[in-house]
Every structure is written in C-alpha cells, then in structure tokens.
Structure 1
C-alpha cells in the first residue's frame, strides 16, 4: 500500500498551519471572556470520549477537558465538546474552532515541528496493535499475510501498519474509513479481517461488540504511541496552562491527593508541595495567571491521574486495561510530574 494519501493529508495540514494567523497570548483571555472551553474530542470511543444515554460526554479525554475547564474557569461543566475525526482534528485546531485538542493524538516529531501546533505532555502511553477474529487462529501478525485490514486515514496507525508489513515482506489490503466505529462494524460484519490501531482503542472498541469474546487483540506492539493534548504553537501562555494542568493530576497522585481528600488536605497539610499544589501557597496559580485554586479545582472535578485512569479505562471498567506503562514512575511506570515549585 502506498502512503501518498497520508502524505497528502500531512502536506495540507502543514499548509494550513503555515498560514494560520498569529494568536499569541489570546487563547486564555478568549476562554475567560466567553466563559466556555472549546475542547476537541473523538467522535466516540468508549473510555475516552463517548456520549452516554443522557448525551453527557464520558471518558478519559472528556474528563481531561473538564479538568482544564475547572482550572481555567472554576467549573468543569463549562466545556463545549467538539467531536472530530482524525482527518478533521488538526484543521479544527489550526483554524481556531477549538481551543485544545484532547483526542487520542500521538505525540510525534513531524506533528510537533510542521503543523503550526505544539504537543504539550503525554497523558497516556500506548502502542499499535491488531485485533482479529478468534476463529482465525492468528497468534502473530506475521500470520496475517493477505488479510484485509481496516484503518483510519490520517493516523500514525496507517503509516505504522504499512511500514511493518512492507519491512516483513507481507501483503495486506487496506480498507480506509474515517470513523473507527465504521472499522469496528466492518470487522464484525466480516468486511475486513483485522483492525489496526492503538491497543487502548482496540480494547475500547471490543468492549462495545455484541460478542466481544469472538475477537482477540494480539499481544504484539509495533510502535510507541504517547497520547497528549495539542494546542496552537503561537500561544506559549496557553501551552503552559495545558501542560501544567495535566501535570497537576499526576503530581496529585504522587502526593496522595484525591478528589475526596483534597479539601481536607488543603486545610490541614503542612507539606509544602501539597500546599503549593492546592493553592494555599499562591505561587503556582500566579505563575499561570490563574486562580490560586486552579489545580485544586481540577483535582476535585476529575480526581488525580490514578482515579481518572481507573474510572474510565481501568481494570474494573468494560475496557479492562491495566496501568502498565501508565503507572507512576515510583511503581515502575512512565508517569512522572515535573517539579511543581
């Protein structure tokens, strides 16, 4: 399979990014003025961003949007969720349709350097994999020669799949569909033999199948896929707000601060780190031009990072993911907050 479509999409995004108007320092002021955060999310992936039966967006990405709204506006409900496909996401951010993109987006070099955008911080570490029918008896992707694989265009997964099959001299037929939900339907209907995307998305998709046990996620991983929020490159002030809001949730878990005990710890803790994080010491809020309670509000709204992970995609959810690389660094994982001082 050729990657011309992926390259063309990247080139178009670069062209738009190069022509984007300067918006330095205006994003935070604009959000405060209008009183609502425009947050770009996936069109619907369980555990990340998916409306429930009442139309309320649920999942890790949706709650990270709420954490930002709580930090900036003091209210986690002041969010306008903007559902975007992989093809739409960067253009929506470049054009100013959204303030931040929190949508299972891999942090990669070319995205960080050529799109007029800035990748802030990793909030989830993942890797590319494949899901196949159990009765296909596939145990290794090298046994997938000649298969039809459903992929989403404009994603790193399309490129990773193409590169891996080519390097192993294995043939496959791609079926490119913009919505991952369409890929899931195609796999269940037998229109494709496999789906190629990040392992967390595969688990999220399978959790919604009518017969999830009929499908297997192969254990092999073929890429590093760190997910993180994306902002426009020309607004360093807004970049700082997003990066340090995510860091605050990680730092809270490191310090044992939760959504349930944050209020008490703000009143009683003598730990200088906790006092800075929760706004007793105004240093951090002043540095970001936010209310001194910015991190406290975010933590109270969605919990610390561990609470957020466990509630949305953890072992006791239908997604059923273990922390793995997303454990704290003190527990052998990669989650690590820079010093907040």
Structure 2
C-alpha cells in the first residue's frame, strides 16, 4: 500500500509541476528545424539501449530511434540519445527535453490519462518476472515468501510486486533502487535475494554478468507489460509519424521486405502492399508531412522488425529472447501492423 500511495503521489506531482502538452505538428517541425531527433533511452540495458566506450549507442530501442530519424530526417545518424532514469523520463518528455521515449516503458491507464502521454504502439510484449541466484535453491516465485527483493522506484514493477505477494499471502522486504544499474549492483552484492523487473530486462541484465549461468529467471510471469514508444499528448501529427514508422518495420517483416532486398523490391515488387509501403505507388508520406520514401529509409536503417530483434535481443544474442508473443500474428504471436492503405 505504501508503494501505491507513493506512485500515485508521484504521478500527480509530475503533472501539476508543469508537464505540458505539445501543439499539433509542433514536434515534427522542431525536429526538422534542428535537424536532429532527441530520443530518450535507458541509461544502459544491454540489448535494448547501451553505449560503448566511444559513446556509440546500440540496441533494440536505439534501432527504432535510428529508423525514425531516417524516416523524418533522411539519416539514421541524426539522433541525440538522452539517458533517462525511470523517475525522470516522463518529466523530460513532457518538458520537451526529448521528442519521444524509446525506453522499455509500459503502457498503462494512468500514464495514458493522468500523465497526458500517448503510446504510439507496442514494440515488445513483456511481463514481469524474478531472477535469483541459482545457489538460493528456489525454483518458483512462490518460494520467495520472506525474501528481500530489489525493485526500481517510480515504476509499475513495485505495484505488481505488491499485488503478487498480497494475492499469494506472502511477506517480502522491498529494497528500492533508482536504476537497473543500481539494481544489478545491489543484487550481485547480496543486498537482496531476488531482483524483479520485466523478463526482457532480467535477461539483458543477466547477460552482462561474469557468470550468467549462476542465476536463473523464475518461470512465473506476474503482469502484462506492453512496451512501446511514447510521445507527448496533444501532438497527433507527431504521434502518427512515430506510430506508422513502427508499423512500417512490422509490416516489412510480414511482407518479406528486408534491408538486403529493399532496393530490388522497391523497383520490381508486384505486391500492392509493398508498393504502397515503399512509396513505389501511392505517396503515403504526404499524409505525414514526409516524402514518399520515408518508410523505405526507416526499414533500410537497421532492417525490418525481425532483423532488428534478431540482431539485438534474439536467441542468437547473449540476451537469448525467443520471439514468443512478439512473433508476427501469422506465426502465432501478437505482432500486427495496421494496413497501409
């Protein structure tokens, strides 16, 4: 209950402290004027968003920002990545410091309504889980009664944690951390018995350990965590640009358009869907305030959704995430792009 009160107060404080609304078309005009996209990302979550020693960012979320920059500005390199903590991300977006969040952020009712934010879609269907040292001898989250658990403040994770333990009539000790980096540090130092966050985040965190095999992710999934890019409320035109760039990447995979064959298909494909997507027939970009090849550039930047997934967080990477719910709808998953017509 204490956590719920804290989060509710934080939500109200953020909005009353000056979170603003964007005017329709304002963000796209600003991005074009400065010739740079400001993208809020995780401070460092391997596979999703992390910088190397030279400050070059890579990852699943980073690739989306590059695709958006390619669509809007014609160059995937025109992105300034801003590291955002879980607590300051929404204020930074509302205050105009960034043009969007691409930062493993869960779409929830209060974030949509009270924070006045718009989620442009879902780019990863996730769920909260638990990671424990193998030496703890635990095989189920229901064995964690009385355990100390590291959890990030200012997140939906703490509420889910409280709900799960209450429903299962178990006690626990909450160890608050401000970031995934601190959570990893405290967990490895033995300050908590378990670490809880989205399962994708747990997989990414474990992959960075010196001995990943010494830690296990428990089988229980205790929440729905639909993650996706977020923009300010009020600027529907910018929301459309972000939303349809995401759909372009998803549709490209469904239609078999890849970074390797995109040039050939843009000239020779007889598929009406592919022709519209790549600007070979209808000029769909005009409706967004962009040119006709915006989607083609977005796809070419880092590949279609499947290519991005495989290169950053897929089963052949250290993160090792199977597609699961994030497979195309034609392959038993939930991934579904709205029609380009």
Please tell me whether residue 297 in structure 1 is matched to residue 297 in structure 2.
yes
Map 1:189-200 to 2 at 5 A: 189-200=189-200
Per the normalisation by structure 1, the TM-score is 0.98
Aligned partners of 2:301, 2:313: CA distance in 1, in Å? 17
Q: Deviations over 1:93-116 (max 9, x none)?
A: 000000011100001111111111
Q: What is the deviation of 1:309?
A: 0.4
Map 1:30-69 to 2 at 5 A: 30-69=30-69
The 3-state SS of whatever aligns with 1:97 is coil
The 3-state SS of whatever aligns with 2:195 is strand
Q: Deviations over 1:212-246 (max 9, x none)?
A: 11111001101110100110111000000000000
The 3-state SS of whatever aligns with 2:91 is helix
- Tell me which residue corresponds to 1:266: 266
- Tell me which residue corresponds to 2:7: 6
Q: Deviations over 1:18-60 (max 9, x none)?
A: x525532210011001100000000000000000233210100
- Tell me which residue corresponds to 1:176: 176
- Tell me which residue corresponds to 1:29: 29
Map 1:316-331 to 2 at 5 A: 316-331=316-331
- Tell me which residue corresponds to 1:256: 256
Please tell me whether residue 207 in structure 1 is matched to residue 207 in structure 2.
yes
Aligned partners of 1:154, 1:12: CA distance in 2, in Å? 12
Q: Which runs of structure 1 show a deviation greater than 6 angstroms over 4 or more consecutive aligned residues?
A: none
Contact 2:315/2:322, CA 8 A, preserved across alignment = yes
- Tell me which residue corresponds to 2:122: 122
Per the normalisation by structure 2, the TM-score is 0.98
Contact 1:16/1:94, CA 8 A, preserved across alignment = no
Cα distance change of structure 1 residues 226 and 183 upon mapping to structure 2, 3 Å threshold = same
Q: What is the deviation of 1:13?
A: 2.2
Map 1:48-197 to 2 at 5 A: 48-197=48-197
Aligned partners of 2:118, 2:149: CA distance in 1, in Å? 31
Contact 2:133/2:214, CA 8 A, preserved across alignment = yes
The 3-state SS of whatever aligns with 1:5 is helix
Aligned partners of 1:87, 1:282: CA distance in 2, in Å? 43
The 3-state SS of whatever aligns with 1:191 is coil
Q: Deviations over 1:98-137 (max 9, x none)?
A: 0011100001111111111111100000000000010111
Aligned partners of 1:86, 1:27: CA distance in 2, in Å? 23
Aligned partners of 2:281, 2:181: CA distance in 1, in Å? 46
Any gaps of 5 or more consecutive residues in structure 1? none
Aligned partners of 2:22, 2:298: CA distance in 1, in Å? 29
Q: What is the deviation of 1:286?
A: 1.1
Contact 1:102/1:228, CA 8 A, preserved across alignment = yes
What is the Cα-based RMSD across aligned positions, in Å? 1.1
Contact 1:10/1:154, CA 8 A, preserved across alignment = no
